[in-house]
Amino acid sequence: MSNVKTTTKNPKTDLKVRTYFFSIKVIKFLATLPDNKIYQIITAQLLRAVTSIGANIIEAKSSSSKRDFIKFYEIALKSANESKYWFGLLRDSLDLDKNTLNIFLEELNEISNMLAASIITLKNKKF
């Protein structure tokens, strides 16, 4: 079991926890792919982008200002969008289970929507 602590009762709405476990699922999936140059290049980019989402959310938690906090969330959103691109490439160009890849893409859409909503809320909030 992980040492990640939730701040809410529902891990589905806790971005930190959700992105952490999403990264683990992606890592396990990528480990099952064939070991050839095409997969290596795409999976390296995908792994970097996916793990960046959660890492930037964690960085935001320790930021020193509201502006920095928002900036880290914006970077996390950009990484989520980049991850969609790499998953789309895997789905559309290689002979992989499209259902599994679509499930990953759906999760990324939900995470992206949560990040975008948080950014909008934060930008409109007066401190």
Q: What is the pLDDT of residue 2?
A: 46
The pLDDT profile of the chain, 127 residues, written as one tens digit per residue, is: 444 444 445 666 799 999 999 999 999 999 999 889 989 999 999 999 999 999 999 999 999 999 999 999 999 999 999 999 999 999 998 888 899 999 999 999 999 999 999 999 999 976 5
Cα of 68 vs its chain's centroid, Å: 19
Task: Output the CA–CA distances (angstroms, integers) from residue 22 to 43, 71, 75, 88, in the order listed.
Answer: 15, 22, 17, 17
Q: Are 108 and 99 in contact (CB under 8 A)?
A: no
Number of neighbouring beta carbons within 10 Å of residue 98: 12
Quick one: CA torsion of 93, 99, 100, 103, rounded to 10 degrees? 110
Cα–Cα nearest to 56, from 41, 37, 77: 77
The CATH class that applies to domain 15-124 reads mainly alpha
pTM for the model stands at 0.86
Q: What is the pLDDT of residue 96?
A: 87
